[in-house]
């Protein structure tokens, strides 16, 4: 799903994301902030800062903490970077080969 933008005062970058509790909380946050804006209790700048703070924390929770329930679970954002489909074994073999090549290069540079 795409976390929608409910108000032009709070621009949201459109992304594809998995629907989870974090996305639901973000939608509620937007509605709460819009209410505060309408009532004059918060400035647009403050509201935008809260939106940004929410997503920075949500991305960290997903990527670093592995929190799939509350984190920002973007889906397909980098699909354009995929050039080929490989098996896990092929990827591991490639990484291992690159590592061995780099170790050899460093070893030779230290012996020179």
Q: Write the CB contacts of 49 (distance below 8 Å, at least 6 apart in sequence).
A: none
Given a contact cutoff of 8 angstroms between Cβ atoms, the answer to whether 99 and 105 are in contact is: no
- What are the pLDDT digits (tens) for 64-82? 898 989 888 888 767 777 7
pLDDT score at 56: 84
> Rounded to whole angstroms, how far apart are CA atoms 112 and 103?
14
pLDDT score at 32: 97
What percentage of the chain has pLDDT greater than the value 90? 50
């Amino acid at each position: 799903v795409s976390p929608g933008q409910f108000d032009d005062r709070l621009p949201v970058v459109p992304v594809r994301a998995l629907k989870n509790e974090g996305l639901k909380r973000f939608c509620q946050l937007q509605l709460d902030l819009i209410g505060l804006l309408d009532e004059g209790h918060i400035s647009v700048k403050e509201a935008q800062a809260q939106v940004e703070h929410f997503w920075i924390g949500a991305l960290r929770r997903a990527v670093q903490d592995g929190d799939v329930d509350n984190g920002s679970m973007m889906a397909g954002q980098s699909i354009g970077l995929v050039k080929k489909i490989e098996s896990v074994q092929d990827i591991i073999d490639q990484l291992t080969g690159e590592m061995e090549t780099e170790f050899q290069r460093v070893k030779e540079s230290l012996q020179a």
